[in-house]
Amino acid sequence: MVGLNKTYSRVFLFTSGVLIFGLLIPYSKNEMWAFILLLFLSAILFVFVFVLVNAVEKLVKNKFSSVRELQFLFVILVFLYAGIYFLLGLADIDERLIRGLREIREYSNYKLYTVNGFFEYLHDVFLTYFNSLYYSIVIMSTLGDSGIVIKNTFVRLIVVSQVIATLSLTIFKIVEHYSNHSLVEARMSELKILNEIKNINRDGLEDGKPRLLKELLRKIFNKHKR
C-alpha cells in the first residue's frame, strides 16, 4: 500500500505539471524564463510518464493486490492517460491529431498580460484538461461515445495501450485476485479439517478403542434392543 500511495502522489504531481505546462506555453514565446521552465517541465514530464507506467506495471503484477488497490490503480491510469491526451491537445493547434479535445483558441486572441485575459486562458486550459479526463474515462469504461475523434495512427496506438491496460486490470487482474483468494480460502478450510481430524484422533481414544466407534456401537445396540 505504501508503494501505491507513492505512485498516487506522483500522479498528482504529474497532473499539476501538465497544467502548469499548459499555462506556460503562450508566455514562453516572449519570456525567456517561461521558455526555460517549459523545457525543464518537458523533461520532467517525459520521465514521469515512464516512471508511472513502470510503477503501475509492478503494482499490477503483484499477486497480493487487494480490490481497493486495484481501484486506485484504475484511477491512476485514468489521470495518467488524461495527462497524455492533454499534452497532445496542447501541441495539436490545428486538431490534426485529435478533434474535439482542444478548447484553447489562438494565443493571439487572449490578452495574456491582463488579469481577465489570464483567467480567460486559464478557463480554456482547464476545459481542455477536463475534455482529456473525460475522454480517458470513456476509454477506460469502454463506452466509446465521447464526441472526440482520433485522426492519427500514433494517437490510436496510445488509445489501444490504454484499452489493453484497462482489460488487464479490470478483467485479468481481478479474476486472478479472486482466484487466488479462493485458493487461500480452500487451503484454510483444508487445514481446519485436518486440525479437527487430529483433535479427534488425539482426544477420541478410550481404552484403545475410538470413542466415536464406541458411541456408534452403543446406538446400534440400543436400537436393536428396542
Judge contact between 89 and 131, C-beta under 8 A: yes
- The verdict on 67 and 11 lying in the same domain is yes
- The verdict on 190 and 143 lying in the same domain is no
- Cα separation, 157 vs 151, whole angstroms: 11
Residue-wise DSSP of 4-48: HHHHHHHHHHHHHHHHHHHHHTGGGGT-HHHHHHHHHHHHHHHHH
Is residue 171 in a domain? no
- The verdict on 115 and 197 lying in the same domain is no
Which tens digit of pLDDT belongs to each residue from 66-108?
A: 666 677 778 888 888 999 899 888 888 888 888 889 999 888 8
Cell of 132: 482529456
- The verdict on 28 and 130 lying in the same domain is yes
User: Given this model, what pLDDT does residue 3 score?
Assistant: 59
Is residue 139 in a domain? yes
Q: What residue spans of the chain are helical by DSSP H? A: 2-24, 32-61, 67-91, 115-140, 153-167, 174-203, 211-225
Provide the number of structural domains found in the chain.
2
Cell of 196: 479437527
- The verdict on 94 and 189 lying in the same domain is no
Judge contact between 82 and 41, C-beta under 8 A: no
User: Given this model, what pLDDT does residue 212 score?
Assistant: 54
Chain centroid to CA 223: 66
The DSSP letter of residue 100 is: S
Range of the domain at 219: 183-225
Residue that terminates a domain, selected from 116, 141, 166: 166
- The verdict on 21 and 106 lying in the same domain is yes
Which tens digit of pLDDT belongs to each residue from 4-30?
A: 677 677 788 888 889 998 898 888 888
Which tens digit of pLDDT belongs to each residue from 170-218?
A: 666 666 666 666 655 666 766 666 665 566 555 554 444 455 555 555 5
Is residue 101 in a domain? yes
Is residue 77 in a domain? yes
User: Given this model, what pLDDT does residue 85 score?
Assistant: 92
Helix (H, G, I), strand (E, B) or coil at 92: coil
| Inter-axis angle of helices 67-91 and 153-167, nearest 10 | 170
Cell of 210: 475410538
- Cα separation, 38 vs 18, whole angstroms: 10
Mean pLDDT, residues 40-61: 76
- The verdict on 161 and 96 lying in the same domain is yes
Distance in angstroms between the alpha carbons of the first and the last residue of the chain: 67
- The verdict on 109 and 193 lying in the same domain is no
Is residue 172 in a domain? no
- The verdict on 41 and 141 lying in the same domain is yes
Is residue 118 in a domain? yes
Other Cβ atoms within 10 Å of 179 Cβ, number: 10
- The verdict on 143 and 214 lying in the same domain is no
- The verdict on 82 and 25 lying in the same domain is yes
In which element (H, E) is residue 209 found?
Answer: strand 209-210
- The verdict on 101 and 17 lying in the same domain is yes
